[in-house]
Amino acid sequence: MSIGPALRYHWNVNLLGRAGLRWVRWQAERRVKRGAHGKSHILTPPLKISARTKELIGRHYLKGRYANLRGKVAWVTSGAPIEFLKALDFYLLYPENHGAVCGTTRTAVDICAQAENAGYSRDICSYARTDLGTMLSCQTPVGKLPKPDLLLTCTNICQTVLHWYRVLAHHFDVPLILIDTPFVYTETTDHSVAYVKRQLEEAIPIAEEVAGQSLDERKLKEVTRLSKLASELWLELLGRCRHRPAPISVFDQFIQMAPIVEMRGDNFTVDFYAAMLKEVDERIAQVIGAVKNERKRLLWDNLPVWYRLRYLAEFLGRHGVVIAASTYTNAWAELTPKMDPERPLESMARTYMYPILNRGTGDKLATMRQMIDDYRLDGVILHSDRSCKPYSVGQMDQRDRLIRDFGVPALLLEADHNDSRSFSKEQVANRLDAFIEMLEV
């Protein structure tokens, strides 16, 4: 890196930016200490560590803003095997996470409109539309996204990403690596692990060429070790919600999951989740629940409704309902045992074939059934997500089977993860009211 860009990066990210974000965090922590976040008789205030979460996310996007000055950038899908890119010092941008930021800041619809005006249908995933809208207009609530030098996509979550990333590759004129993962019906086979591993082996020289350096095996093992450590802590954190009352709700988990998705493989992510676990354990020791008057406990299926997190948390909390677990946040925890830092490529192949969206719907139902038992849950809300078809497919059958075969009350709730035009407040309120009434019987 030449001296001018290096100095600009250092000044903006490590000096000015770091100090600014630290100041914001310090003020937020002071507000928490003073109890200035307002007293709610429904919900316990967010975890104290939330100020640090915001700082981490802010720093991630700040680094991204200047990343093209410092080195190479890869845009990657959320479930992609990223460890080899991390070991090659790529800055990693996750368009889906950026989409979630647009969702929570309620800027997604305006940005999606940019893609729709260019001819992309509203039936396409709203993360993809958000990202393509940003690509076309540079609109983003985080200031600026870095241009990619490389794209990595993996079919373990859906086929949409394949078409979406082809558009990105064409627009930015950069190489696209595609990792194809065979569908897992019950268990992964050695043959399919070898197939994915071979693709990773073929991807490495492409990434090395873009990065301008060779992959260091020791560094890859270290990144895999850190990914595993962070995932283990995330698994433990989620497991703490087996307690009654649940110390954090799924709405807290949705906010706190950003680092495990986009910062796994970093040592500060491990420290961050260790600190969070400590705070959650303090809550458990003091019998503090996320919902102050917890009476009923539910499971959430599918992606969050990013632009209505607070509304849903308060609506349910008012009735003493906590959502204590979700198949979505669990997706970044349940893969943990498969990671093996000593055999990084093989374990990467095995691990990344296993996300919930790459498994049969029967397997997903079995996971839900197990979670209902483990977390002692009273019912399930299945978010029927208009523009995430792979997660929503089979939900009607899953709801029917939960009710009929297992005697577990279940509700199908129609919305969309990022497009608030598909959310009807009145309809959602009516359906939730009726469901809660049924739970009380």
Cβ at position 103, least distance to ligand SF4 in Å? 11
**What phi and psi, each to the nearest 5 degrees, are found at residue 120?**
-80, 130
Give yes or no for residue 249 binding ligand SF4 (CB under 6 A): no
Query: In this chain, which of 68, 107, 153, 160 binds ligand SF4, going by CB under 6 A?
Result: 160
388 torsion bin: left (phi>0), alpha (psi -120 to 50), beta (else): beta
Question: Is residue 388 at the binding interface for ligand SF4, with CB under 6 A as the rule?
Answer: yes
Tell me how crowded residue 427 is: count the other CB atoms within 10 A of its CB.
12
Distance of closest approach, residue 359 Cβ to ligand SF4, in angstroms:
13
Q: State the CB neighbour count (10 A cutoff) for residue 198.
A: 12
Q: Do 112 and 135 contact (CB within 8 A), yes or no?
A: no
From 192, 144, 177, 120, select the one nearest 346 (Cα to Cα): 192
In the complex, minimum distance from the CB of residue 383 to ligand SF4, in angstroms, rounded to a whole number:
11
130 binds ligand SF4 (CB under 6 A): no
* Of positions 127, 272, 352, 435, contacts ligand SF4 by CB under 6 A: 127
Task: Identify the residue among 157, 324, 356, 371 touching ligand SF4 (CB under 6 A).
Answer: 157
Task: Give the separation between CA 297 and CA 285, rounded to whole angstroms.
Answer: 20
Between CA 218 and CA 405 the distance in angstroms is 50
How far apart (Å, rounded) are the C-alpha atoms in residues 254 and 426? 24
| Residue 130: closest CA among 306, 389, 314 | 306
Least distance between ligand SF4 and beta carbon 76 (Å): 12
The piece of 139-147, 155-163, 244-252, 274-282 that touches ligand SF4 (CB under 6 A) is 155-163
125 binds ligand SF4 (CB under 6 A): yes
Q: Which is nearer to ligand SF4, 158 or 335 (CB)?
A: 158
Residue with the two structure tokens 């996310």:
57
**Helices 18-34 and 50-65, packing angle to 10 deg:** 160
415 contacts ligand SF4 (rule: CB under 6 A): no
SS (H, E, C) 124-180: CCHHHHHHHHHHHHCCCCCCCCCCCCEEEEECCCCCHHHHHHHHHHHHHCCCEEEEC
Q: Does 161 bind ligand SF4 (CB under 6 A)?
A: yes
Minimum distance, C-beta of residue 42 to ligand SF4, in the bound complex (Å): 30
Nearest distance in Å: CB 288, ligand SF4: 33
Residue 277-316 contact track with ligand SF4, rule CB under 6 A, x = bound: --------------------------x-------------
Is 193 or 331 the residue whose CB approaches ligand SF4 more closely? Answer: 331
Backbone torsions φ then ψ of 49, nearest 5 degrees: -70, -5
How many other β-carbons are positioned within 10 Å of the β-carbon of residue 222?
Answer: 18
356 binds ligand SF4 (CB under 6 A): no
Under rule CB under 6 A, residue 391 binds ligand SF4: yes
Which tokens is 316 given?
């349910």
CB of 77 vs ligand SF4, minimal distance in Å: 7
Residue 100 interacts with ligand SF4 (CB under 6 A)?
no
DSSP annotation of 11:
I
Q: Which one of the spans 83-91, 156-164, 167-175, 419-427 is the region binding ligand SF4 (CB under 6 A)?
A: 156-164
Distance CA 331, CA 310 (A): 22
Q: Which residue's entry shows tokens 């949409």?
A: 160
Q: Residue 254 CB, nearest distance to ligand SF4 (Å)?
A: 14
Contact region with ligand SF4 (CB under 6 A), list: 66-74, 125-133, 270-278, 408-416: 125-133
Q: Which is nearer to ligand SF4, 131 or 222 (CB)?
A: 131
**Alpha carbon separation from 431 to 421, 427, 435, 436 (Å, rounded):** 18, 6, 6, 9
Task: Give the interface size with ligand SF4 as a residue count (CB under 6 A).
Answer: 13
Which listed range, 123-131, 319-327, 348-356, 393-401, lies at the site for ligand SF4 (CB under 6 A)?
Answer: 123-131
Stretch that binds ligand SF4, among 153-161, 211-219, 316-324, 341-349 (CB under 6 A): 153-161
Q: Which residues bind ligand SF4 (CB under 6 A)?
A: 96, 125, 127-128, 157-158, 160-161, 303, 357, 388, 390-391
